[in-house]
Amino acid sequence: MHARGMDFPPLTPADNAFAARLPQGVLRAVEPRYLEERRGLFHGRAGLVAAPRNTGEVAAIVRAANEARVGVVPYGGGTGLVGGQVMPDGPVPLVLSLERMTAIRGVYPAENVIVAEAGAVLADVQAAAVAEDRLFPLSLGAEGSCRIGGNLSTNAGGVNVLRYGNTRELCLGLEAVLADGSIWHGLKRLRKDNTGYDLRGLLIGAEGTLGVITAAALRLFARPATTGAALFVVQSPAAALDLLARAGGRIGSGISAFELISGQGMRFLEATGCAARVPLDAIPDWAVLIDLGLGPDDDPQAALVGLYEEGAAAGLVLGGVIAQSEAQRAGLWAMREEIPEANKRIGAISSQDISLPLSAIPEFIPAARAAVAQVGEFRINVFGHLGDGNLHFNVFPPEGRARGDYPGEMRARVAEAIYDVVAAFDGSFSAEHGVGRLKVGDLERYGDPAKLAAMRAIKAALDPNGIMNPGAVLRR
């Protein structure tokens, strides 16, 4: 094994000299699951897979890797959508899986805090909160398999950001192993702690490039005593935003989610035979799914009726349904959650996770449509977390053609057309999925130069040998 500055030596399972320096019993077989990425955009490589049992073992592995200049790719549930969890090129790395560190270290209902290890599956963290009659509000499609360490490393968003914030806002404290193998014991259960730089916020969203998160103290909330949901047909995205503002005035912080759904998305659901039903007589151009969580003395259905009436009187709302039971509410959510599956069955040429200033959205959507039309004839499914200004802007071939008909060059042109419009409206080319390896070039193109320079300086300062998730976020 030869360390050559920032260059990594190749690492293979036969590299016994390095493996012998790792804690006993941490090595796993290099199974394909560690190397696959669900969209098939990347195929990873790994010389070794290590699955440590505790933070001390994580530290020992990272310290050994740092001394030997071996790259370390932290691996959670493998559900990331930008290739942050797989390293397809460069010197072969060690994959560090958190799958054996799944403990809920403590639940503190009186404090509204839960302490979970990084490998805990998100759904298990949610369930541990429910067992103490509390809510851990992070919720997203992959919650049955993604792990909380990955959610933290990517600052995951999801459907409840409007009310509860992104993962960063849900985290009070962290325990992490830094690139030199030192352990930061920052697992504070404090709401206020102004004792130095925000290392917590920096590691969250750093996608494993500055260290490995091993555990987190996370915020819990009272579970809403009453809930409700409605699907309202709206005149336009502008009408949806007006309705959102009115809902804020009427219902305040009781709005848990406010999702935009396009007619194209509903047609895809029907065309692909997805199980979810659209409970409307005809498919409209636009609809919003509104979810409420209120107090014990409140009446969410009455609140939704009031909002409907105000919206209808103002010409914003054209129809819709209000769930009359928890099962109907679940049905509305099932429809929303199945849109990505329908998209997958149709086969997108380009899937963008973007965000915009809320008031720019009505102008942005037609402008982005027009820009994409300049590249060619496509179908577009725009949907997402309207309350957060977060749209999933997905581009599909016209009927009768398939994704495979479009070369990569065409896909890149579509993405660029969208991103240029996003940039013109002061938006973001990655709202909740992160940069990973997929969007490194986009960050270089659209990112602020002063911020990029600061990021590179921070990376060099905290990981001088460049071992942590090499090539993610910043080019190797």
**CB burial of residue 425 (10 Å; 0-12, 13-18, 19+):** middle
What is the rounded distance in angstroms from the CA atom of residue 183 to the CA atom of residue 423? 39
Residue list 238-257, contact with a second copy (CB under 8 A): 241, 245, 248-254
Binding residue for a second copy (CB under 8 A) from 33, 191, 277, 475? 191
Rule CB under 8 A: is residue 462 a binding residue for a second copy? yes
CA–CA dist 332, 232 (Å, integer): 11
Of 10-18, 92-100, 221-229, 272-280: span binding a second copy (CB under 8 A)? 221-229
The footprint of a second copy on residues 9-48 (CB under 8 A) is: none
Give the residue with the Cβ less far from a second copy, 377 or 426: 426
Among 45, 329, 385, 437, binds a second copy (CB under 8 A): 385
Our finding on whether 432 is near a second copy (CB under 8 A) is: yes
User: Any residues with CB less than 8 A from the CB of 82 and at least 6 apart, and which?
Assistant: 430, 433, 434, 435, 436, 437, 438, 439
Please give the Cα distance from 449 to 453 (Å, whole number): 6
Cα 367 from Cα 372, distance rounded (Å): 9
**How many helices (H) and strands (E) are present in the chain, helices listed first?**
15, 18
Query: Is residue 56 within the footprint of a second copy (CB under 8 A)?
Result: no
Q: Nearest approach, Cβ of 29 to a second copy (angstroms)?
A: 32
Per-position x/- string for 222-241, each x denoting binding to a second copy as judged by CB under 8 A, each - no binding: x-xx---------------x
Residue linked to tokens 């909002």:
307
Minimum distance, C-beta of residue 390 to a second copy, in the bound complex (Å) = 5
Nearer to a second copy, 9 or 352 (CB): 352
Q: DSSP label at 195? A: S
Binding footprint of a second copy, residue count (CB under 8 A): 93
CA atoms within 13 Å, Cβ hemisphere of 139: 18
Of the candidate spans 273-281, 284-292, 372-380, 430-438, the one that interacts with a second copy by CB under 8 A turns out to be 430-438
Among 455, 466, 467, 471, binds a second copy (CB under 8 A): 455
Provide the phi-psi class of 41: left if phi over 0, else alpha when psi is between -120 and 50, else beta.
alpha
Q: What is the dihedral of CA 414, 416, 417, 419, to 10 degrees?
A: 120
Looking at the Cβ atoms of 154 and 350, the one nearer to a second copy is 154
357 contributes a contact to a second copy by CB under 8 A:
yes
Residue 310, CA distances (Å) to 107, 200, 215, 430 in order: 42, 43, 46, 34
Q: Which is nearer to a second copy, 115 or 276 (CB)?
A: 115
Mark residues 57-86: x for contact with a second copy by CB under 8 A, - for none.
------------------------------
Give least dist CB 25 to a second copy, A: 25
**182 is a site residue for a second copy (CB under 8 A):** yes
One-letter amino acid for residue 58 of the chain: V
User: Is residue 366 involved in binding a second copy (CB under 8 A)?
Assistant: no
If one asks whether residue 210 binds a second copy (CB under 8 A), the answer comes out as yes
Q: Report CA 362 to chain centroid distance, whole Å.
A: 24
Quick one: 97 or 209, whose CB is closer to a second copy?
A: 209
Interface stretch with a second copy, choices 96-104, 203-211, 333-341, 342-350 (CB under 8 A): 203-211
* 65 contacts 179 by C-beta, under 8 angstroms: no
Binding status of residue 194 toward a second copy by CB under 8 A: yes
Are residues 284 and 341 in contact, defined by beta-carbon separation less than 8 angstroms?
A: no
Q: Is there binding between residue 452 and a second copy (CB under 8 A)?
A: yes
* Interface map 102-131 toward a second copy (x if CB under 8 A): ------xxxxxx------------------
Residue 402 in the binding site for a second copy (CB under 8 A) = no
Give the one residue of 58, 161, 365, 380 binding a second copy; rule: CB under 8 A.
Answer: 161
Phi, psi of 386 (to 5 degrees): -60, -40
Containing H/E element for 231? Answer: strand 226-234
Q: Which residue has the tokens 């963290």?
A: 125
- According to the binding rule CB under 8 A, does residue 201 interact with a second copy? yes
Alpha-carbon gap, residue 65 to 465, rounded angstroms: 10
- For a second copy, the binding residues in 257-296 under the rule CB under 8 A are 294-296
Q: Determine, following the binding rule CB under 8 A, whether residue 445 of this chain makes contact with a second copy.
A: no
Is 313 near a second copy (CB under 8 A)?
no
